[in-house]
Structure 1
């Protein structure tokens, strides 16, 4: 059984990267974002140069970023 995705405020405060398809690792800039959490992945949404961008990362990788302090949940 899958749960309903949960959306929450987050901040990127350290190095966070994602891979777009089979391409290279891309960096998500530091700053505010939204995190939409599902059972096995997290979609991060942020604004860069006036454009809304998104990246999906595996939940295990998101948890690693939380533990390292690169992503902080909530807003200051």
Structure 2
């Protein structure tokens, strides 16, 4: 099972809200590198990254998490 993020949806919401990776990281208490890695598809990483993105962009996890077999 592979977990990845719907980065198209996330980047679109970031553009609409004018939110940066740094702002998401600060709002969620995670590093900018962790958010950047998740958005670049390198790895979702720590469990805190998804809630940080959700909090900053008003998503639920089911809106942005894609689980592949």
> TM-score scaled to structure 1, two decimals?
0.29
Structure having the larger proportion of residues in helix: 2
RCO comparison, higher one (Cα < 8 Å, 6+): 2
